[in-house]
Amino acid sequence: MPLFKEELRYFVSAVLDEDIGTGDLTTLATIPADATLKAEMNARETMVIVGIEIAAKIIHTVDSAIKVEILAQDGTEVTPGNVIMRLDGNARNILTAERSALNILQHLSGIATLTRQYVREIEHTNCHLLDTRKTIPMLRKLAKYAARMGGALNHRMRLDDGILIKDNHIAGIGSVSKAIQAAKSYGTNNSTIGITVECDNLEQAEEAVNSGADRLLLDNMTVDMLFAAVKKYKGKVKLEASGGITLKTIKEIAETGVDYISVGRITQSAPAVDIGLDYLG
């Protein structure tokens, strides 16, 4: 479970408050109070399941008496027609919980599914896929969990997880070397990324390495530039490629020999997968 118990309780409560308000008027008006229902959540495309326990928690928060059978754990890849969850209980409460449970399951599974596609393109190399901080506000912990389930490694969770000097920091202080010197003087360098510097060209990369950077973020560089950076700096610093990388381009970039590739779109713009809740009567 990616959330601590209290975090999960708060998240589920906020989700249901947002969706239900003072009551599900349509269901209350049309479904008898004592009606029961059996239903199945079915995959309608190939996907990596993530968020199944959260979906179950949403359902049980609405009605703890609903029987929930989980048939696909987080990280499991399923194909169209696979049943991932069965429900049996009060019809009103299943209908009321349906959309909130599906929303989070479809969103997180979408992230994991897209991530898995990227990972498969580079699994023949020694390069690792990284996520970024490009996430929907308040859903970062869940989005990064989904990326992990898809096979990526997590980059910084928050700004206090490490120093990453980007172009605007460099512009603000005047140069790459000045930015690195200031970062070293600040005294915080205990993260896994060390002092990372975003470099737009090989001249900046040279300045960063000579000034003591631990890692280079090679931003929007051509394949030829990446090859040159790998040839000169591999083993001296960690090398991370980033910027506009797609499923069509990631393989070629990984084959340059960079250590990491960071892709914002796996959390920023992954499409939700298609999961249906089908009623059995």
Which domain CATH number covers 204? 3.20.20.70
Name the DSSP class of 261: E
Cα Rg for the chain, rounded, in angstroms?
A: 23
- For 84-115, the DSSP string reads EEEEEEEHHHHHHHHHHHHHHHHHHHHHHHHH
Known catalytic membership, residue 141: no
Query: In terms of domains, do 87 and 19 share one?
Result: yes
Residue with tokens 């737009």: 200
Nearest residue to 58 via CA among 46, 48, 70, 47 = 70
Of 24, 98, 198, 259, the active-site residue reads 198
pLDDT value at residue 259: 98
Known catalytic membership, residue 198: yes
Query: In terms of domains, do 257 and 201 share one?
Result: yes
Residue type, 155: H
Known catalytic membership, residue 40: no
- Which segments of the chain does DSSP mark as H helices, in order? 5-20, 25-30, 52-62, 91-122, 140-150, 167-173, 176-186, 202-210, 223-233, 250-254, 265-268
Q: Are 133 and 164 in contact (CB under 8 A)?
A: no
Of 121, 214, 219, 240, the active-site residue reads 219
The model's confidence at residue 159, banded by pLDDT at 50, 70 and 90, is: very high
Residue type, 48: V
Q: Are 142 and 2 in contact (CB under 8 A)?
A: yes
Q: Looking at residue 23, which CATH number applies to its domain?
A: 3.90.1170.20
Query: In terms of domains, do 18 and 150 share one?
Result: no
Of 38, 86, 120, 134, the active-site residue reads 134
CA distance 60 to 262: 37
Tokens of 8: 């999960």
Query: In terms of domains, do 19 and 63 share one?
Result: yes
Of 38, 166, 178, 234, the active-site residue reads 166
Instruction: Kindly report, residue by residue over 197-228, the tens digit of the pLDDT.
Output: 999 999 999 999 999 999 999 999 999 999 99
Query: In terms of domains, do 72 and 125 share one?
Result: no
Query: In terms of domains, do 12 and 143 share one?
Result: no
Instruction: Kindly report, residue by residue over 58-106, the tens digit of the pLDDT.
Output: 999 999 999 999 999 999 999 999 999 999 999 999 999 999 999 999 9
If one counts every other C-beta atom within 10 angstroms of the C-beta of residue 71, the result is 15
* Domain encompassing residue 111: 5-116+270-279
Query: In terms of domains, do 126 and 254 share one?
Result: yes
pLDDT value at residue 188: 61
CA distance 164 to 156: 9
Instruction: Kindly report, residue by residue over 118-153, the tens digit of the pLDDT.
Output: 999 999 999 999 999 999 999 999 999 999 999 999
Percent of the residues in the chain that have a pLDDT greater than 90, as a whole number:
93
Mean pLDDT across the stretch 8-27? 97
Query: In terms of domains, do 136 and 222 share one?
Result: yes
pLDDT value at residue 192: 72
pLDDT value at residue 269: 93
Phi/psi of residue 270, nearest 5 degrees: -70, 130
Query: In terms of domains, do 95 and 129 share one?
Result: no
216 SS3 class: strand
Query: In terms of domains, do 48 and 107 share one?
Result: yes
Residue with tokens 């060390």: 194
pLDDT of 189 > 80? The answer is no
Contacts of 18 (CB under 8 A, 6+ apart): none
Query: In terms of domains, do 177 and 275 share one?
Result: no
pLDDT value at residue 190: 58
Residue with tokens 């229902």: 37
pLDDT of 281 > 80? The answer is no
What's the total number of domains in the chain? 2
Q: What is the pTM of this model?
A: 0.95
Query: In terms of domains, do 125 and 240 share one?
Result: yes
